[in-house]
Structure 1
């Protein structure tokens, strides 16, 4: 048998060289790496992402505010039962009347705070301090004529409440104040040219009253 000739040997070497060159080119090409896929084990990829911000904390809900001061009238007695007190509230304002039914009286006025407290002032340094409780009553003190009186005035339903009349009778200036208490009892003082005395009773339905023979009208008092 004849051995392969030199030409055949050269051809086989050439084919082998081409094959090795092709294989080297294929294995030498590297694909672009993914930075997340190539991350070392144990390193969290999420560490490179900023953390989500926490939701803003909510402020506590405000306490419900107290309702508006009512438009109402209040009348009652002092704790020593010597005098009467009436208070009329309208639109956050107050007017009050203190009288003993003989010769001591005082008109006072001022504002009512949102929490129901009030500090009213009158002539000669008189003061009335009170607190509205559940819209049902006013509890407080009246400083009149240099003396302090504690009082409680309950919510009044007409004809209970506060009345006043001013007029000229027989040449005298008349200024009268009346407190009609729950139950119908009346306490009042009339001044004739500045001189006080016990007031005659009024008709609570009409406000009519006769003073020194002349009929005048007492009307409900509001601030």
Structure 2
């Protein structure tokens, strides 16, 4: 009985040593499992990393800035409304032209027995080609305050220059029946007051009596008529 005591003590110490060794190994394993990241784990990229070039959004114009658009050509407008009067280059006849809203009416008159009324359109650049009875035609161009052109009537041709007319200068006409005859008169009042006109009685031309340029009043065969400005 006395010998069994030391052996028992030795055996108990051995068991305690084994128990402590086992406890130390268990504690070390747990520490390695919950420590820092393992060597194979990738770190997340920082949130501020710029996108790749393929993901970069296209640049936008500043907010509120002007938007480019194809430039529109300024629209042209018809020549302004006005009247023009002048002489042919050979000083044998007169020409008057009235322009209104892109339309024109003209009168050629030699003050004796030859006349023609012509009409047509006016181009935006001032060009015009007017036509009348029996193939009469007027071709001209408005430039500044003048119309320069030609008139052709009965195979005769005249060049002319008509200046911008200030009232009472301009183009006038009167039609009426007087003493059973059909009256048709045309007058050109030139700058300076000179008048050129023809009065037809039933189609027969003759020099026209002068009109009052301020009122258009004229007396034909004892009857008072009124010549009025002509517009297209």
- From 38, 44, 54, the equivalent of 1:33 is 44
Counterpart residue number, 1:210: 219
Task: Report 1:31-180 matches (<5 A).
Answer: 33-34=44-45, 45-49=51-55, 51-52=57-58, 58-134=68-144, 136-180=145-189
Offset, 1:25: 4.2
Separation in 1 of the partners of 2:141 and 2:56? 58
Bigger shift: residues 171-180 or 137-146: 137-146
The alignment of Structure 1 onto Structure 2 pairs a total of residues equal to 214
- Taking structure 1 as the reference length, the TM-score comes to 0.80
Paired residues of 1:76 and 1:151 also in contact (CA < 8 A) = yes
Paired residues of 1:36 and 1:45 also in contact (CA < 8 A) = no
Separation in 1 of the partners of 2:130 and 2:111? 21
Secondary structure of the structure 1 residue equivalent to 2:52: helix
- Taking structure 2 as the reference length, the TM-score comes to 0.77
Offset, 1:213: 4.2
Offset, 1:103: 1.4
Separation in 1 of the partners of 2:30 and 2:96? 117
The verdict on how the C-alpha distance between 1:48 and 1:62 changes in structure 2, with shifts beyond 3 A counting, is closer
Separation in 1 of the partners of 2:160 and 2:26? 122
Secondary structure of the structure 1 residue equivalent to 2:24: helix
Give me the CA root mean square deviation: 3.1
Paired residues of 1:159 and 1:180 also in contact (CA < 8 A) = yes
Separation in 1 of the partners of 2:141 and 2:72? 24
Cα deviations by residue, 1:137-185 (Å, 9 ceiling, x for unpaired): 3222222222232222221111101011122334332211100011111
The verdict on how the C-alpha distance between 1:67 and 1:198 changes in structure 2, with shifts beyond 3 A counting, is same
Could you tell me which runs of 5 or more consecutive residues in structure 2 were left unpaired when the two chains were aligned. Answer: 1-12
Separation in 2 of the partners of 1:149 and 1:190? 22
- When Rg is computed on C-alpha atoms for both structures, the one with the higher figure is 2
Separation in 1 of the partners of 2:80 and 2:162? 15
